[in-house]
Structure 1
């Protein structure tokens, strides 16, 4: 016999029932397939087999497995299928015994390996990772361009400040004199205070070089994402889906003592945790941008009415 996994997280138990007939008769036909859930007890499998055998008496069915040292264990019928398979996976097989009176038939059943049991999960994970890889590469390019653009803007701001300083120095010491330039510099400084307060009203945060730089990066990044068709929500969903698939595979790997897979999963989960933090930061910045735009648009009509008045 053979026990195989399915894509719906069930187990497919394939048994040649003609080898379990106690009266020597053959059932004929292909092997019988039973679908069992990991949370069902072994007694459920027993009832399915007995009803399929069509035995005239009341045979008893037992499930035995062996430890890596060869010690035989007989399992209670109240044991869950998942727990039984977890133990039987250590030796890759178990025995199914049908007994009635003095007659007993034994059938070895092959337990799926780690690769077989996670075949569908790994296939889905590969598809998700393939899509994620392309999106992450596009996102990395957009992030780099956004930072370069913000850096250029910061350098441009420095150039404007230097030009302003040179202009004020020229007008103060060579062309107009301090008596003329004093109120000009005072009003320009007051204008900067007013602009800073407007920034606070618009952004809801204190004016600083870092906040202005972060705002520039966020705005450019969102524009690049939209222009190049990068769906951040889809990216976040794929990260969550990949994390869920790895969690299921890791749970199965614990049954098979697959330490290498567990180590790879832990490394990838750390990277995904960092990516999820980045997703939250991007969404937060996007909400702030939308709220700021909404505030500005809501203030425009009132400003126009005041101007008209």
Structure 2
């Protein structure tokens, strides 16, 4: 007997929020996390230690941890002193463990034990890649943190050095998964940096698992301005080389005027759910009237509990072998 295996792919806050909701379900979670970030504390540690970016890894470790709240708070605590580099304690712990173990992937694994992580957190690669973007006008922008600042339409992104090897454990997780979930999160700087790794892209195409994309609610300035849900999906397929997504979770409810005005001031708009285009891609749309939550500042987020429930119910309804795979004991 075994539990349903979910493989989550992404980065940023979106992946950690989704993981936090799913850890309460009877599933085995593996999170494959981007390490291409080069801004803030993460960027400083990358430059000094020449290790993959720890920030997104830290957030997912915290989300999946099962420790005393104070320990999680300590892990996520960010020093406010410039003399201490404004570093979160967790970033420093990951850097220190990398020094101790001489291997970033091993460091993440050992910290997972210390934090009693309910699942497995895997960097997409054990190297320190640089994310580059080719804009529609042909300009090449080097560095993840600089890409959105250009405010140009992105044609494609790629990692350097070329031919970066994905973590073997990441490829294995995709091959062994029952359901693979991409997103939510920044399309070009959190999700796609994982799947442009050839090993991961090929594994996604050939995996027998069901594949789900969780669409963002709002567009991101300098990255997905004007994008619809189908635009997000087609960008993912373009970077892998073949269509592979079968399901999408997206919001179809119109946001109220106060929320819309708040986001227009930030150069963002609601991601339009173009149902006809999604149907034309032969992708099944899944939605819920309670999928979006709104805070006091009129900022929208995925309702963590609803999203986790939707993903779990999809797995139960679409995957025919929940506890057994044919030929396994």
TM-score by length of 1: 0.21
RCO comparison, higher one (Cα < 8 Å, 6+): 2
TM-score by length of 2: 0.20
| Structure 1 or 2: more helix by fraction | 1
Larger radius of gyration: 1
